[in-house]
Each structure stands twice: as structure tokens, then as C-alpha cells.
Amino acid sequence: MQKERAEYVQNIGIEYRYGCYEEKQPESCQLLGEYFEAVEKKYEEAFNLFAENCEKRKWPRSCYKYATYCLAGKATEPSYEKAFPPLEIACNGNIPKACKRLSQLYWMAASAPNNQPNTSKAVELMKKSCELEDYQSCWTLSNWYLGPDAKFAKIKTKRGITRESNIGETGSIEKDANKALEYGLIACDNGNVLEACSNVARMYYIGDGIPKDIEKAKHYKERAKELKLMLRKGWTPGLTG
């Protein structure tokens, strides 16, 4: 059985190589890059293939992978600047995580062009990521709309206290409690984001820019408790079954 598995994996690699190098299929090149990365652990080859597939064929998934290598300094020198063009292609190709990463780069002074946060661009991209159903992005938007002086509900988990934290100078927007609630509800109700449920409960409980609603506060507090228990048991948000 082990020999058969090894042969199958090897044959998959041959198939991907043929599809990429001979037929020039961007999907095959993407799969071959992932094969180099996950199976053969050839990270430099993976990086070069993702970069080529992005720059020559504009393949969104490869552009996202290329950008993550640039940001992490994996198989290449770390560079915020080099990550922008591939992330833009990937986001335009509706890769939600690419829109989120690009938004974060615009939000932080350390990575933004000219070291000046571009708040409007960051918000625009984070909204797109949320609309593409990356619910952590919806949670981030909720935090941003609570304003720069916001207080957050603190959630104690095995990994410690989790909350949105800013490092260095960042963008900021005026508080809009209704939008904060709107995106918090999306993150909690649709994405099962624990922190979002807890913070929605807090907003309803104290009336943070919205009418107090103790019943809704209790509902979302209980939902947060349920999610916390599920996480302790090893459940991963976004996965079912």
C-alpha cells in the first residue's frame, strides 16, 4: 500500500510537470508549485514557479502565493513593496485572503507606500474580502468602525487573551457603531467568529452607540460560550462535519 501511494504521488508530479512545462496551463503550474512546496519541500522552485505563473499568466492563486513568500521572506528577501502587485492581481481575481492582506498593508504605516496609511483603500479592500466571505475580515471591519479609542471584549482561551491589537501607526476611521455592529453580526452569525460574537454581546449589553438590548446581549454571550467550548474541543471555524 505504501509503495502504491508513493507511485501515485510521483505520477501526480509527472502529470503536473507535463501540464505546466509542456502545455503551459496556469492551473497545472499552480498545482506543480503546491507540489514542490508540500511534497518535495523545494521552496525556491515553488517560489520561482508561483512568481512566473503570476507575472506571465496573471494566475490569481499563484499571485497570492508569490506575495506570501515575499511578505514572509521565504526563498526570497522579505519585501512589502514586491508583494503589492501580485496581491492586487490576486484580489482582482477574487481571492479573499489577498484582499485582506493588501488591506492590512495599506492600513499599517510600516508597509504602506511612503509609510503613510491609506485608510480609504484599506477599508475598501477589507470590505471586498468580507463580501467574498472571509469572515475574519468582517470582524476586522467591525473593530475599525468602533474607532481608534474602542474597548474590546477580552476572550480568554488556551492561547491567552485574544483581541485586535495594533502595532505602530495605523489608519483610523471615525466611530460608526451601526457599521461596527453590522460587520460584527456578519462575522458572528455567518462566520462563527468567537471574538465577534463576544463583542456584539458587549455592544448590546452596554449600549455602545446602539440601543441596549439585554436579550440580544444574552443570546450572543451564549453563542460566544458555545464557540469557545467548540474551539477547546478542536473545532476549526469554517469546517463542518
Q: Give ∠ CA 87-92-114 in degrees, rounded to 5.
A: 45
Per-residue H/E/C for 12-52: HHHHHHHHHHHCCCHHHHHHHHHHHHHCCCCHHHHHHHHHH
CB atoms within 10 A of CB 209: 17
User: What is the chain's alpha carbon radius of gyration, rounded to the nearest angstrom?
Assistant: 21
Domain boundaries defined on the chain:
134-241
Nearest to 39 by CA among 63, 60, 17: 17
pTM score: 0.88
| pLDDT over threshold 80, residue 165 | no
156 vs 137: CA distance, rounded Å = 21
215-226, pLDDT tens digit by residue?
999 999 999 999
Nearest to 224 by CA among 185, 180, 178, 179: 185
Query: Distance from CA of residue 209 to its chain's centroid?
Result: 28
Put residue 94 in one of left, alpha, beta given phi > 0 → left and psi -120 to 50 → alpha.
left
What pLDDT shows up at residue 154? 54
Mean pLDDT in the chain? 91
C-alpha cell at 58: 496573471
As a CATH number, domain 134-241 is 1.25.40.10
| pLDDT over threshold 80, residue 237 | no
10 vs 56: CA distance, rounded Å = 27
202 vs 152: CA distance, rounded Å = 8
53-106, pLDDT tens digit by residue?
999 999 999 999 999 999 999 999 999 999 999 999 999 999 999 999 999 999
More reliable by pLDDT, 236 or 96: 96
